């Protein structure tokens, strides 16, 4: 499994735009959405991500999705409004 290194979202807290283009990632950690200043996450939609779902990525809603997952971890409530999902995400179905 290919992940984003923890140093990106734990130590580099001033990042506003993070480009992950041409990296063979399979999963984005929910903590990535908690970076205090991040506004934009640039990614290819041509490689296979396990998480978040490809429909979320193709609609450029990955930061919102990661933030919703992180919020669900804290509160136990998952809000999937406006993510254009046609199947239940793996993150929810496996819990």
26: domain range? 6-93
pTM of full prediction above 0.85: no
Q: What integer is the mean pLDDT of 15-41?
A: 86
Query: Is residue 65 situated within a structural domain?
Result: yes
Query: Is residue 49 situated within a structural domain?
Result: yes
Query: Is residue 37 situated within a structural domain?
Result: yes
Distance CA 14, CA 65 (A): 21
The single residue listed with the structure tokens 């409004």 is 81
Is pLDDT of 3 > 80? no
Query: Is residue 1 situated within a structural domain?
Result: no
- Contact by Cβ (8 Å): 86, 54: no
How many separate domains does the chain show? Answer: 1
Q: pLDDT tens-digit profile of 44-64?
A: 766 677 778 888 888 889 899
């Amino acid at each position: 499994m290919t992940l984003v290194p923890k140093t990106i979202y734990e130590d580099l807290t001033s990042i506003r735009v993070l480009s992950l283009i041409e990296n063979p990632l399979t999963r984005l950690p929910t903590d990535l959405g908690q970076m205090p200043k991040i506004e934009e996450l640039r990614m290819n939609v041509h490689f296979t991500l396990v998480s978040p779902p490809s429909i979320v990525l193709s609609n450029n809603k990955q930061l919102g999705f990661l933030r919703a997952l992180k919020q669900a971890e804290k509160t136990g409530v998952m809000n999937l409004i406006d993510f254009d999902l046609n199947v239940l995400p793996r993150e929810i179905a496996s819990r």
